[in-house]
Amino acid sequence: MQIPNFWDSRRKIDPPNLGSLSQIRFLTENDYPPFHFQGPDGQITGFEIDLAREICEQLKVTCSIQPVRWDGLTEALARGQGDAIMAAMRISAEARGRFQFTSAYFRSPARFVSQRSGGLASAEPSILAGRRVAVAERSQHEAFLKAFFGKADRVTFRTASEALEALRGGEVDAAFVDGTVAAFWLNGEASGQCCAFLGQGFTEPRYFGEGAGIAVRLEATALRQALDWALHRIAAEGIYAKLYLKYFPVSIY
């Protein structure tokens, strides 16, 4: 399985000067599995939750993780309710104007998915020409299809989940969706083991962003540097790979 690596192991990062920092208050959401979700015991868990705790372990500080509705996360950070947002937040030029970001710790490629018995050999424009491809309407995935797979017959749905359900039902030949969403679906009961990834992943930043990073307030440079140092150590010690394998048994790449 291919495990993503966002850190240069040859790069030396000096240990951070934490000053009086003794706690990091992470803000997250609680309904985007496998990144963050409520476990059987009612407690929040997930890939980002475990990663946040490992960051605190590396920095030897207390960890606080508070779930907030997605549409209230940035306001909560701005008014000091927390110190950092760790909620699969995409790094973008617009977001950089409001926050500092760590280096990316995750990037979800766009992927094609097809029926196992569908007869498609690859995800090339010539192969998908004239084929019915499900995609979420008005999404970056639809824009990418228009630009690079213009001869495919796009069939739009309200959400990626609806596009995948159409694929399972045989209404379309393929679906083009977020790789993380697709992997979680393929590994779950909803897919009925009908389908598999087709071809390679696509990570064109102009369409799919620079990846997800931890957001902090613009003035919190020391905290951002400390978080980057901890992420680098987590990768170097193999902890990131273990967490990735735990939460992504079907690789998204």
User: Which of 158, 194, 198, 191 is CA-nearest to residue 175?
Assistant: 198
The pLDDT value recorded for residue 57 is: 96
Where are the chain's structural domains?
A: 23-107+210-247, 110-208
Print burial letters for 165-195: b (CB count within 10 Å at least 16), e (below 16).
bbbbeeebbbbbbbbbbbbbbbeeeebeebb
User: Which of 199, 193, 150 is CA-nearest to residue 174?
Assistant: 199
pLDDT < 70: residue spans in the chain:
none
The pLDDT value recorded for residue 94 is: 87
Alpha-carbon distance of 112 to 198, in angstroms, equals 5
CATH superfamily of 110-208: Periplasmic binding protein-like II (3.40.190.10)
Segment 137-165, tens digit of pLDDT: 999 999 999 999 999 999 999 999 999 99
The pLDDT value recorded for residue 19 is: 79
Give the residue carrying structure tokens 């590396």: 58
The pLDDT value recorded for residue 3 is: 82
CATH number of the domain located at residue range(s) 23-107+210-247 in this protein: 3.40.190.10
Q: What is the mean pLDDT of the chain?
A: 92
Q: Do domains 23-107+210-247 and 110-208 have the same CATH topology?
A: yes
The pLDDT value recorded for residue 18 is: 79
The pLDDT value recorded for residue 156 is: 98
The pLDDT value recorded for residue 87 is: 95
The pLDDT value recorded for residue 68 is: 93
Q: Considering Cα of 32, then 241, then 41, then 74, what sign does the dihedral take? A: negative
The pLDDT value recorded for residue 194 is: 96
Segment 84-103, tens digit of pLDDT: 999 999 898 888 999 999 99
Here the tokens at position 193 are 């083991």
The pLDDT value recorded for residue 16 is: 83
The pLDDT value recorded for residue 111 is: 97
